[in-house]
């Protein structure tokens, strides 16, 4: 099998799209050494580190005509690579259906609230057409919740769409006190890690933390890339906005936090929640259905402001109460792996080729 994978998410500096594309492509290449995998994009991107020999870089546009990438250039590159299948990792497949294709539909947030994605007009218009016209042979979602939402919204036949969970990178693992000793802050802190964007309910997190801080000297650390449509936050005592951090640094922060707090309004999967659990962190999160599939009872749930305040207050006042949640999270995280994700994805490739 020769598979071309959309590498455009690798142009991002961080985030779930990049993580998914990088980890999945490596796991596919490692799990199926007899197959050839090519990362392709019309933009410059970095290859995943330590990529297996059967995971290679494809080409980009070679002339002005091919800059019309999805209509013409991508099809030409797939011909040059002799690719038998294309996997669109970011809501898109080629406009010319000359070979089977698989689309990953990460979530339905672009269609749920325009304020969540100020720059998603192209996705909002293009993706439903690609699905409706049958240009994507098979569709993958990261959770059963998104699968059901997609079937209802886009009227997809259930046989065409599969739910395949993501996984956390192996770099996220429990750390000893010695491992995390170099990771400030020294004061007790709650941690949020992920893209700073409207959908993540950062304002709600800040409001809850401010109430907790009136009673307990506990900081709030926000780690992640700030998207352009998210307002700059003003400095205040106890709030640490540290921006993007390496995986190693994030794992250290997760090892030392009182709790990882992720009150997102909506998620397709909630990869940061799984990364936190795999590090042994206590997790406080919303009752979003996608996150619920990941946590499966291994995280404290809080939707309202009062619930979120109470959950954070309880852990701040009694840190030992986080220990059972740490153990539950570790057990649950052990059920996910990228090799399993790769195997299930490869089965979808085979089904697309049969069709």
Top CATH class of 2-167+337-354 equals alpha beta
Residue 42: the pLDDT is 95
Joined together, the tokens standing for residue 340 give 């399993």
**Strand-strand pairing, 259-262 and 189-193:** parallel
C-alpha distances in Å from residue 327, one per residue of 229, 249, 266, 332, 338: 37, 22, 25, 9, 21
Nearest of 344, 296, 351 to residue 141 by alpha carbon: 344
Distance in angstroms between the alpha carbons of the first and the last residue of the chain: 15
- Alpha helices (H) along the chain: 16-31, 74-81, 109-112, 121-132, 144-154, 202-213, 247-256, 271-278, 289-295, 305-317, 323-333, 338-354
Residue 185: the pLDDT is 54
Ordered by start, the domain boundaries in the chain are: 2-167+337-354, 189-333
Q: Which single residue is written with the structure tokens 């956390």?
A: 168
pLDDT along the chain (355 residues), means of 10: 97 90 98 98 94 96 93 95 97 93 96 85 91 95 97 97 96 73 70 95 97 97 92 93 94 96 96 97 97 97 96 97 97 97 98 95
pTM: 0.92
DSSP per-residue letters across 149-168: HHHHHH---GGGEEE-----
Alpha-carbon distance 350 to 273, whole Å? 31
DSSP per-residue letters across 319-342: GGGGHHHHHHHHHHHTT--HHHHH
Residue 113: the pLDDT is 87
Alpha-carbon distance 103 to 87, whole Å? 6
2-167+337-354 against 189-333: fold identical: yes
Architecture of 189-333 per CATH?
Answer: 3-Layer(aba) Sandwich (3.40)
Residue 179: the pLDDT is 58
Residue 178: the pLDDT is 52
């Amino acid at each position: 099998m020769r598979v071309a994978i959309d590498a455009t998410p690798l142009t991002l500096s961080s985030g779930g799209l990049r993580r998914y594309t990088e980890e999945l492509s490596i796991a596919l290449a490692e799990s199926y050494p007899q197959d050839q995998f090519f990362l392709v994009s019309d933009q410059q991107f970095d290859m995943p580190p330590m990529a297996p020999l059967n995971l290679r870089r494809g080409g980009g546009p070679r002339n002005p005509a091919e800059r019309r990438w999805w209509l013409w250039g991508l099809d030409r590159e797939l011909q040059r690579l002799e690719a038998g299948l294309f996997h669109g990792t970011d809501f898109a497949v080629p406009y010319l259906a000359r070979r089977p294709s698989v689309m990953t539909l990460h979530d339905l947030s672009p269609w749920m609230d325009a304020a969540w994605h100020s720059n998603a007009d192209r996705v909002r218009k293009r993706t439903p057409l690609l699905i409706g016209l049958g240009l994507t042979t098979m569709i993958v979602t990261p959770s059963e919740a998104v699968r059901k939402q997609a079937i209802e919204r886009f009227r997809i036949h259930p046989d065409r769409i599969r739910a395949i969970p993501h996984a956390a990178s192996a770099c996220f693992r429990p750390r000893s006190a010695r491992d995390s000793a170099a990771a400030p802050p020294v004061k007790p802190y709650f941690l949020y890690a992920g893209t700073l964007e409207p959908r993540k309910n950062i304002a709600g997190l800040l409001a809850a933390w401010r109430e907790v801080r009136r009673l307990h000297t506990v900081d709030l650390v926000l780690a992640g890339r700030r998207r352009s449509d998210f307002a700059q936050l003003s400095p205040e005592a106890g709030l640490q906005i540290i921006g993007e951090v390496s995986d190693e640094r994030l794992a250290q922060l997760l090892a030392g936090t009182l709790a990882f707090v992720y009150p997102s309004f909506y998620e397709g999967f909630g990869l940061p929640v799984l990364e936190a659990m795999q590090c042994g962190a206590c997790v406080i999160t919303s009752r979003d259905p996608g996150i619920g599939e990941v946590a499966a009872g291994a995280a404290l749930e809080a939707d309202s402001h009062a619930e979120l305040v109470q959950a954070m207050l309880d852990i701040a006042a009694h840190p030992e109460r986080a220990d059972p949640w740490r153990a539950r999270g570790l057990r649950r995280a052990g059920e996910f792996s990228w090799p399993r994700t790769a195997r299930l994805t490869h089965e979808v490739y085979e089904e697309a080729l049969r069709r």
